[in-house]
Each structure stands twice: as structure tokens, then as C-alpha cells.
Amino acid sequence: MGTAGAESVQESGFQLPAPELREIVDAPALPSLSFSPQRDKILFLKRSSLLPLVELARPEEKLASAKIDVKCNGKSRMPFFTGIGIHRLLPDDSLGPEKEVHGYPDGAKINFVSWSPDGKRIAFSVRVDEEDNVSSCKLRVWIADAETGEAKPLFESPDICLNAVFGSFVWVNNSTLLIFTIPLSRRDPPKKTMVPLGPKIQSNEQKNIIISRMTDNLLKDEYDESLFDYYTTAQLVLGSLDGTAKDFGTPAVYTTVEPSPDQKYVLITSIHRPYSYKVPCARFSQKVQVWTTDGKLVRELCDLPPAEDIPVCYNSVREGMRSISWRADKPSTLYWYVIVFDMVEAQDRGDANVEVSPRDIIYTQPAEPAEGEKPEILHKLDLRFRSVSWCDDSLALVNETWYKTSQTRTWLVCPGSKDVAPRVLFDRVFENVYSDPGSPMMTRTSTGTNVIAKIKKENDEQIYILLNGRGFTPEGNIPFLDLFDINTGSKERIWESNREKYFETAVALVFGQGEEDINLNQLKILTSKESKTEITQYHILSWPLKKSSQITNFPHPYPTLASLQKEMIKYQRKDGVPLTATLYLPPGYDQSKDGPLPCLFWAYPEDYKSKDAAGQVRGSPNEFSGMTPTSSLIFLARRFAVLAGPSIPIIGEGDKLPNDRFVEQLVSSAEAAVEEVVRRGVADPSRIAVGGHSYGAFMTAHLLAHAPHLFCCGIARSGSYNKTLTPFGFQTEFRTLWEATNVYTEMSPITHANKIKKPILIIHGEVDDKVGLFPMQAERFFDALKGHGALSRLVLLPFEHHVYAARENVMHVIWETDRWLQKYCLSNTSDGKCGA
């Protein structure tokens, strides 16, 4: 095994890894697929896997947790498409030749691709960066003909541009879009006063209890407020295909717009002053209104105050109307859960710590109710409302969950009849994945909404729905489709994935739009199919013969690893908990000839409330070995064995909480995994490295401190190392620092820095602003390590947040990781020797 690509550490600037690693990082990304509403065409949305660093370096404002690209007035760092291909789905379930959408400028960055309801046109935004033309950096709306692919700007005027901070556009009907635009009256951004007018003051003299996890980028002063207004204020515009534009309402900070299924109304949400300096913009004062699609205000549903006092506890929510939306099965009927003021309010006032029954109430009401007409109660819930899937007046499925008990419950309700009592379909512990019955498959209506598909069988008057399940089993995931009788609860398995070689999943129904029930013998399903070494391809599966027709032929993205070896392995922790991991070995590896390999152990701990749930198998041995540009699997190309995703369950049964025995269970899980790969003879016990990202980096630091006999070095990417900096909770820990001081201290790797003697590489995004994961975490941990003479290295990646996105940075991360592994794992130099 060579050391090419692991150049001298003294070299400055960005480095490139060895060619065999570089080739994998630069592997082309698979296109995203988008079906037309009529399911007769498919878009192939082409993209690059990584952004150039210049994209991350664009000017950015961070205001109330909104990250804004000030040049294009949209979300910063938006991934974009580089091209659109149109394919017709032919009667024999094959794809016709590709037609490229054309007419937009070369090098354009494409976002917000959206079909018109009739499937005849495609709307999207275009951004072209020209340094000498500031207006070209803005986002403009384009329209393409779905038959010819010819595209042109919706508006002739280059001055009508998107304000895409919170929204973009929606189709109101086949010929009109409602568009978030930058107000034409907007001038230059506000300028900050160089000399402050006074100190920054925050006060809690009222002794309110205001608890929040550490959030960065909140508004701090009046300048921030004015800057927030400047970039987020939008003018809604009705844009017609003939190029005309008509203002809709007045400028405001709009966040969402949702047309009703019958295209007569629009549900509009906006936020407004007074702004809060204590919470992000998602918790600002919020107004929800109903308008007609021609721009007349119908009524205001609610105007909620800032949500500054939501308890830091799972399942706690803001008070007031929440999740307001349209019923997908009705022309213009609203639904929401919980309401305040003169109607029944949130029974627990949003506080999950309060024991009440019922806890949530779901309401429905027409967009324009008759005078004096009150909202109707659809259902009362004892847990926290999660979602509702609509079908018709005889069927809707309501889901509720509760984190503390891991309970999830699905109710069958009859929205059109108060005489039919709701009944429970499924009531289970969501940690018990083997009990997961699946989710209902949806079909598209003629109004463009998605409702639960009803299935009919020949000579059978019963009504069925299709449950699409991930199929967790002790042998791995075996996805399935069950025909479910909603009256009796009986199931018939009509399809499941191949068990021997392939991993298949049901993606979506391929069926014409309409409200008619689907005959089982006419069923068509879009499926994906892959194997350990064959990349995902899409197929059309047709009943009654269940004929499968492949419609894509994507090439293998990394042919040098096409013959890698993959195995799902099972073993036990010393306390009897069954564990699993996926073991990858390089192409051509022969244990009898090649012997033990250097090994990279890459993991992420998970919390559980029971040993049974922790020991359940998740994943499939037949899934394709896909790799992101920062994947640990890349190092198979350097002849490393990779143990990916070994189970690291942290269990708290009964009244015990998982983190009370975190270190003990972490070490025990790692020991079991290492012993298993050593027992198999595939891993050299003196050359096993440990690594992870985020909570996996936190894990890495702990294992080097508490299990130095297992690993020769570590790679910690974007981790948190001092839990006392997030004193109101972290991950699934809901106790505060003052309630569980010992837990916070023991779980902070920085308090164990004196125990870390093995080489550790710390990598972090220089502008990471994820809660509890600011760059200071890495910097202070590195300082602590240096203070004890630990062999360590800190790399801060310019312009990167929590997930690395720039090609230059990702290449450098792989170079740094490869250098570390070559020097401290493969060669096992300095203090990197296991057991030292």
C-alpha cells in the first residue's frame, strides 16, 4: 500500500488526495427524478455532487437563523441543478429519448423546478453570475414547454426577480403563478451606524422562564432588524404565461403560500414585528390569512405572538393554531390542530411536561364559513399530533406520537360522519422497527393534491389501501407492499423485495390522475432496484403479471470499487445485546492470502429505551454501497477494511436514562465490534482507526480517552466536545446541566483530554453554526489536548458549515484523513501504536 497523496504536512493551501481517492470524490451524482402530474413524463434533474468554494464564499447575512445570499436574495448555499432532461414514459413502460430543456444561458444555476398542474409546462428559476452585471446574479423565473424543451423568461423585464429567502413560487392554475419577488421600490440596504447609540441590553426583570438551546445568529439590535426586513420582505406577484405581472397584496415578510385544491383561495403565512432577540425567525410573530386567488383578503385565521417560552422538552410546541393547511380531498377546506383565544386551546399549553387528556385537538373548517359557523372537531389526541393523510369523507389516517414512551398511534377517522367513531389501526413503540406496518401509498387527484390510494380487487366489494413498508426483519430490510383491508385489518402481501441478491423499494404509484379507485390488476408502481455492487436503477412494476421494466441505465459511479466485498455481520455485546455492522473489504481481497488489513471503524451512537429495540437489525446486506464525497468507504481504494455503522446502542430501560451509562455502553459496543473483525481475521488489531462525524466525532474522542487499547488513532469531524456549553440539553438528553451535572461533565470529552494519548485529527467547518457545534468546540478541545502534549491536529475548513459542501474543502478533508491513516494507522508511527 503506497503513500501517494499523503504529502508533507508543511505544504500550504488546499491539497488533493491520491488519484484513486480523487476519482471517487469527483464521481458524477445521480440525477433527481420528477414525474409529471399525469405520470406520462419524467424529468432528469442533473447536478454536481459538490459546489465550488466560490459558491460558499458568496456574501452571506445570518439573521434570526436565516442564512441569506445577499447577491441573489435567496437562501445561501442552495444546491442547484445544471440541466433538465425530459423523457416521455412510453406505453411499453420504457423511456423515450431525452429532450434537453434549452434556451437559458450557459452555466446557469437552476432551482425550484415545478410542473404546471396540467403537465404542459415546467417552471424554474435561473441564476447567472456575471461580475460586471449585478442584476444577473438575481433569480429569475423561466418557463419551459414540456413537449419541446424550449424555455424563456416568464417576464421580459429583468427587474422582476425572486425573493427566495423563504419561498419561491407556486402554480395557482395552469397559466398563473404566485411569485415571491423583490419589491421594485426597494433601494440600497441599510447602513450600520459606526458609533453605537448605546449598549446592547437584554432584560428578564419579569422573571419569565425562557429556556432555549444555544442558538446563534439571532437578531441583536435595530440594525439587524432593518437588515432582516430588507432581505426578507417580498411582494407577491401573479405572473401569467403571457408575461403580465400583477401585484398581490402589499409587501410583507411572507413565508409560505398554498393555493387551495380548487384554485379559488390561497393560504398565506407571514411574520411581522415586533421581532424577538431571543428566538429564531421560525418563532417570530406569525399571521395566517386566507385570500382569494385574485388578491382579495377573505379572513385572518390567527396572529400568534413570538414563541419565546416553548419548554426545552421533546413534544413541546408553541401555543396557538399549528400546521394550518388545506384538506387534500376537499376543494377548499382548512384543517389545523389546537386553537387559542375564544375557542378550545392547547390543553397542555404546548408544554409536554404537563399531564393532560386530551392533549391536541384537530379542527376543520371551510375557507369561507357561514356566519357564526364554528370549526368542527375532527379528532382529539392524547399524544402529540404528527400528521394526517387524507383520502375522502370516509377515510383519513391521523398519526400521533410521544417521545418519552416511544409510542406512535395511527387512527382511522371518518371525516364525513360524526356517527362513526375513530378507531385505532396501529398502536406500537416506534423503536420496535419490526412492528412497523408501513405507510399508505398516495395517488394524485385531478386537482393536483395527493390522497390515500384506494385499491379494488376483482369481484370484491371491500376497499383496500396499499401499505408501503421498509420491511425490517432479523435478516435485514425486505421492503414490501401489503393490501390492507381497512375494515377488518387483514393484510395480503402482494409484493416484496428480492431476498437473495437485490434490494428493491416501492417509490410511487404510476397511475393517471383522478378520483376513481384503482383496480389491483391495473396497478403500476415505480420501484428502485440495487445490489451490493449494482447502482440503483428505476423500474416500472405492472400488475397482474408483476412485469418489471427497467427505465434507467445509470453507469457505476466508481468502477474501481465495483467489485468491493460487503457483508452484514452480527455479534453480541458482553451484556447480551445483539449488534450488527456492515463490513466492507477491498476488491480482490482474499483473507487466506492477504491476511488482516488496517481497518477504519466509522460509527454514530444511538439512544434506545429497550435492549430488544437496540438489538434489531436495520439496513439490508443487499443495498448498493453508495458513497458520499466524504464517505469512509472511499478508503477501500487504499486497501483498508471499513467497518461502517457498527451498532453503538446507548440504552436506558425503565426509569434509567441512556446517558447515565454512556461511556460504559460506548466502550462495550466498540469492544464487541473490534473483537469480531479481529476474530474474523480481516482486521489487524494494532492498526484499527476510529472516526465519525458530529456525534460520531464526539464518540471518537471518548473512545480514544476510554478505550485506547482498541484504536491506534482517530478522526473527529465537526464534533461537540464540551456539553456544558449546551446547558439546556443536547441530542436526546432533555435534562439540564443543573439537573444532571455529572452526566454533562462525564460526557464532555474535554474533561478527559488528559487521557487521550493516541493521535487525533480534528476537522471542523470554520462557520459551523449548528446548535452546540460552533467551531469553538473544536478549538477549545484542541487547546486542551495541546495543554497535555497530545499528538493532535486541528483543521478548520473555510466557509464550511456542519456538512462539507465545497470541492476544495472535501478534497482537503480526504487528503488530511488519508495522511493521518497512512502515518498513524498503516505505518503506526509515533504514539499511534495500540496499547501504548
Which residue carries 376543520 as its cell?
A: 364
106: which 3 cell numbers?
Answer: 450557459
In whole angstroms, what is the distance from residue 35 CA to residue 345 CA? 41
Helices (H) and strands (E) in the chain, counts: 10, 48
496: which 3 cell numbers?
Answer: 416484496
End-to-end CA distance of the chain: 24
For residues 19-46, b (16+ Cβ closer than 10 Å) or e, as one string?
A: ebbbbbbbbeebbebebbbbbebbbbbb
694 is catalytic: yes
User: Which residues are registered as beta bridge partners of 370?
Assistant: none
The DSSP line for 375-387 is: PEEEEEESSEEEE
Residue 802, SS3 per DSSP: coil
Catalytic residue among 332, 632, 668, 694: 694
User: Which residues are registered as beta bridge partners of 519?
Assistant: 456
Non-local CB neighbours of 106 within 8 Å, separated by 6+ positions: none
Which residue carries 377548499 as its cell?
A: 332
**DSSP at 189:** P
Closest C-alpha among 533, 588, 525 to residue 557: 533
Q: Which long-range contacts (CB under 8 A, 24 or more apart) does 44-48 make?
A: 44/84, 44/85, 44/86, 44/87, 44/98, 45/81, 45/83, 45/84, 45/110, 45/113, 46/81, 46/82, 46/83, 46/84, 46/85, 47/79, 47/80, 47/81, 47/82, 48/82
In whole angstroms, what is the distance from residue 347 CA to residue 128 CA? 51
Catalytic residue among 348, 360, 768, 818: 768
Sign of CA dihedral 282, 288, 292, 297: negative
Q: How many CA within 13 A on the CB side of residue 264?
A: 10
Sign of CA dihedral 403, 409, 413, 419: negative
> Are the C-beta atoms of 781 and 762 separated by less than 8 Å?
yes
In whole angstroms, what is the distance from residue 255 CA to residue 266 CA? 13
In whole angstroms, what is the distance from residue 233 CA to residue 428 CA? 45
In whole angstroms, what is the distance from residue 346 CA to residue 551 CA? 49
Catalytic residue among 48, 549, 802, 827: 802
830 is catalytic: no
In the 3-class helix/strand/coil scheme, how is 502-558 assigned residue by residue? EEEEEEEECCCCCCCCEEHHHCEEEEEEEECCCCCEEEEEECCCCEEEECCCCCCCC
Task: Compute CA distances 717 → 336, 567, 700, whole Å.
Answer: 41, 26, 9
In whole angstroms, what is the distance from residue 305 CA to residue 284 CA? 7
What's the burial of 651, exposed, middle or buried (CB within 10 Å: 0-12/13-18/19+)? buried
For residues 554-574, b (16+ Cβ closer than 10 Å) or e, as one string?
A: eeebbeebeebbbebbebebe
549 is catalytic: no
Task: Compute CA distances 210 → 205, 303, 307, 355, whole Å.
Answer: 12, 21, 10, 21
In whole angstroms, what is the distance from residue 436 CA to residue 277 CA? 42
Instruction: Show which residues are catalytic.
Output: 694, 768, 802
